[in-house]
Structure 1
Amino acid sequence: MTWIHQQPAWPHFYWDDKTLSTPLASVRHQQGRLLGRMDALGFSFQREASLNALTNEVVKSSAIEGEHLNREEVRSSIAQKLGMDQGGRLPASRHVEGIVEVMLDATQAYQQPLSEERLCAWHCALFPTGFSGMTPIMVGMWRPPSAGAMQVISSSYGHTKVHFEAPEATRLPDEMAAFLAWFAADGGLDPVLKAGVAHFWFITLHPFEDGNGRIARAIADMALARADQTPQRFYSMSAQIEAERKHYYAQLERQQRGSLDITPWLGWFLGCLERAIGSAGEALGAVLHKARVWECLHPYAVNERQRVVLNRMLGDFEGYLNTSKYAKLAKCSNDTALRDITALLAWGVLVQNPAKGRSTSYRLVTAEELRQFDPSKQP
C-alpha cells in the first residue's frame, strides 16, 4: 500500500477549481447570509449565539473522538473566559478548561500566526496531566520515534485492517515546517479552501501522539474565522462532522489511499460546511426567537420582574407559566404577577392556554404567532 504521503510529489496537493467553484460560491453565499442575519441582531444576542456555536464546537469535536464532555461545564467555561455573565456557573475540570482554551485561542486570536510553539501549547492544554486516558504520552512535542508507527487500525474475527498510517516520526520536523510555512503564506487561496486543505494535511501528518483530530479541526476553525473575518462563531463545523462521522472517516481514509488530487476531499468538506451553516439556522432559532420577542417589546415599559420571567421562559423553562409560578420567579405577590401577565398578554408575547379557572396557564408566543401579531417583523 502506498499512502498519499509516500507519493513522490508530496505534499504538492492539487484540485479541480472548476469542479469546486460552484460549491465554494454556494458556501460563501450562505456564510454571507448568516453573517448578515447576525449583524441585524444586537451585540448581546450575537454573543449568545456565538457562545452556543463555540459550545457545540468544543463538545462535538470531542464527541468525534468518542469523548463526551458535560455541555453545561463547557458552556460555563467559555462564558467565563469571554467575560459573559451566565449566572450560576458550573465549575469546569482542568481537562475541559484546556479544550476550551484551545478552541478560543484558535478562533478569538485567528489573526495571530500559527507556529510550532502555539501548536505545542494547544497539545499541552489538551493533555494537562501528560496522559491520554491511562496511557502516558509525550506532551507538547512531535511524536518521538520511540512511540512506534502511528497507525489507525480495526480488528474483527482475528483480521486486522490498517485504515491509515502516518509518516515516520523522523520526518516530522521538516514536514511540520513545510506545513506551517504554507499556512502562513498568502498564496491567494480562498480561506475556506485553505481550511479544508489544512485539515487534511495536518491529519495526514498526525504529528502528536494523540489529539490530532481535535487540533486539526481547531486549525480549520482558525482558517474559517479568517474567512468570516470575525472571532464570532455562528456555526459549528464539528457538530456537522459528528453528525456525518462515518462519511468523514471514510472520506479521510479514501483520500489517504489516493493521489495528491484532493478534489474529492475538498468537495466533501465544502458540502459538510454548507450543511453546517444551514443547520446553524435551526441551532440559532432560540436566540433569534429571543431577539424577536425583545424587539416586539421595545415600545413598551417592561419592568424588571417581567424581564426576569421572560428571560427564564426564553431559556431553560419547562412546562407552562401560571400566576403562582410567576410570583415565585419574580418574588412578588400573586396580584402583582397577574397584572404583569395581563400586560404581557396585551403586548403579544404571552398566549393564554385553553384551560380556564384554576388551570389557567400561559405559554410564550411562537415565532409564527409573532409574525402574525406584527407582520412588519419578518426574520
Structure 2
Amino acid sequence: MNCSYLTTGRSGMTRIVVGAWRDDKSGPIQVVSGPLGKERVQYKAPAAERLDPEMNAFLDWFNGGEDIDLVLRAGLAHLWFVTIHPFDDGHGRIARAIADMMLARSEDSPQRFYSMSAQIRLDRKAYYDILERTQKAPDLDVTPWLDWFLQCLDRAIGGAEETLSNVLFKAEFWKQHEGETFNDRQRDMTNRLLDGFDGKLTSSKYATIEKWSPDTTLRDINDLLRRGILRREAAGGRSTSYLLRE
C-alpha cells in the first residue's frame, strides 16, 4: 500500500524509502509544525528498531478476533498505525484506508455511501489537534480520540445522507418533467439550482452564466415561471430573484 501511494519515491524534494520500514538513517521521525524558526515537535515516532515487534503486534490485533465493536476497532486501528509511523511518509492516507477497511467489515456490505477518509480530510485541523493531544497524553487515554472519531463518523454519514437526498430529489424532479421541453440554457440553469446554486438567481446572473442577451434570458425565465418550475422570491423589485418551486 505504501508503494501504491508513493510511486515517485519522494516526499516533496526528499528521497524516501518506499515499500519498507523506515530506517531512521536521517534521524528519528518527528512530526513538526509551525513557521520556519518557530517549529515545534508534535510527535516523535518509535525508533526504527522497534518497528518489527510493534507492527507484528498491530497486525495480530487487527486481524484477530478480539471482542471489540468493529467501529471502535476502526478508530483504534487508525490511531495505532499512525502512532507507530512505520514508513517515511504516507501514514495519514494509509491510516484512513485502514479505518475505512475496518468500517467496511463492521457493515458486512459491499455497498457504502459515505467516506470516513474524506470526512477526516475535511476536518483535518481538528484531527491533528486531537491526534497530538492523544499521543502526548501521559495516561495514554484513547477515550477523547474515540469520541472525536465517532463524531467524525457521524458527520460523514450525515453528509452522505444529505448528498443522497439531493441526488434522489434531482432524479425525481427530472422524472416528473420527463417529456417537457427545456432548451440547453434552461436545462443547465435548472441543474445548477438542483445542485445548490451559490447565492440568489437573478436575471443578470442567468444572462452572465449562460452568455445570452437579457431579452433571451427573460424569455427563458418567464417560460419557466409559466410552467411552474420557477417562482419569484417575495421581495421583487429591480433585483428580483428566482427559486425552484418545490
Given the two structures, how large is their TM-score scaled by the length of structure 1? 0.50
Q: What is the rounded CA distance, in whole Å, between the counterparts of 2:74 and 2:125 in structure 1? A: 19
> 2:188 matched to 1:311?
no
Deviations, residues 144-179 of structure 1 (Å, cap 9, x unaligned) = 1424322335689x9986543322212223332332
Structure 2 Cα separation of the partners of residues 202 and 172 of structure 1: 11
Go from structure 1 to structure 2 and tell me whether the alpha carbon gap of 1:347 and 1:218 turns closer, same or farther (over 3 Å shift).
farther
Q: Is the 8 A contact 1:352 1:360 kept in 2?
A: no
Distance change >3 Å, CA 324–CA 187, structure 1 → 2: closer
Whether the aligned pair in 1 keeps the contact of 2:170 and 2:194 (CA below 8 Å) is no
Task: Give the equivalent residue in structure 2 for 1:84.
Answer: none
The answer to whether the aligner puts 1:265 opposite 2:145 as a matched pair is yes
User: CA 1:346–1:293 in 2, change beyond 3 Å: closer, same or farther?
Assistant: farther
Q: Quote the sequence identity (%).
A: 36
Shift of 1:207: 0.5
Amino acid at match of 2:201: Y
The partner residue of 1:344 within 220, 224, 228 is 224
Alpha-carbon distance change, 180 to 246 in structure 1, aligned in 2, over 3 angstroms: closer
For residues 174 and 122 of structure 2, what CA distance do their matches in structure 1 show? 35
Q: Deviations over 1:47-86 (max 9, x none)?
A: xxxxxxxxxxxxxxxxxxxxxxxxxxxxxxxxxxxxxxxx
The yes-or-no answer on 1:247 pairing with 2:129 is yes
- The question of whether the paired residues in 1 share the 8 Å contact of 2:115 and 2:156 is answered with no
Superposed CA offset, 1:80-103 (max 9, x none): xxxxxxxxxxxxxxxxxxxxxxxx
The CA distance in 2 between the partners of 1:218 and 1:249, in whole Å, is 17
Amino acid at match of 1:267: D
* 2:180 corresponds to 1:302: yes
- In the alignment, the residues of structure 1 paired with residue 208 and residue 148 of structure 2 have an alpha-carbon distance, to the nearest angstrom, of 53
SS of the residue corresponding to residue 298 of structure 1 reads helix
* SS of the residue 1:244 aligns to: helix
Residue in 2 aligned with 1:177? Answer: 56
Is 2:91 the partner of 1:212? yes
Match of 1:55 in 2: none
The match for 2:113 among 225, 232, 249 is 232
Alignment CA distance shift 1:206-1:335 (3 Å): closer
State the distance in 2 between where 1:311 and 1:351 align: 16
Contact 2:75 2:149 in 1 (8 A): yes
Flag the 1:299–1:263 CA change in 2: closer, same or farther, 3 A.
closer
Distance 1:152 1:308, change over 3 A: closer
Alignment of 1:176-195 (within 5 A): 176-195=55-74
Deviations 1:7-39 (A, max 9, x none): xxxxxxxxxxxxxxxxxxxxxxxxxxxxxxxxx
Answer yes or no: is the 8 Å Cα contact 1:350–1:363 preserved in 2. yes
Match of 1:83 in 2: none
Looking at CA atoms only, which structure, 1 or 2, has the larger radius of gyration?
2
Q: Is 1:133 aligned with 2:133? A: no
In structure 1, what is the equivalent of residue 30 of structure 2? 151
TM superposition shift of 1:323:
9.3
Q: Within 5 Å, give how 1:64-83 maps onto structure 2.
A: none
* Cα offset, 1:214, TM superposition: 2.6
Which amino acid in structure 2 is aligned with residue 141 of structure 1?
A
Q: Secondary structure at the match of 1:167?
A: coil
Higher relative contact order (CA 8 A, sep 6+): 1
Once residues 250 and 244 of structure 1 are traced to their aligned partners in structure 2, the CA distance between those partners, rounded to angstroms, is 10
Distance in 2 between the 1:327 and 1:264 partners? 50
* Structure 2 residue runs without a partner (length 5+): none
Residues 218-271 of structure 1, C-alpha deviations (whole Å, 9 max, x = no match): 22122223334324326643145325245323433334x434x53343233223
Count of residues paired in the alignment: 237
Determine helix, strand or coil for the equivalent of 2:154. helix
Amino acid at match of 2:175: H
Give the letter aligned to residue 130 of structure 2.
Y
**CA drift at 1:321:** 4.8
| Counterparts of 1:360 and 1:161, CA distance in 2 | 52
Go from structure 1 to structure 2 and tell me whether the alpha carbon gap of 1:352 and 1:268 turns closer, same or farther (over 3 Å shift).
closer
Query: What's the CA shift for 1:308?
Result: 3.2
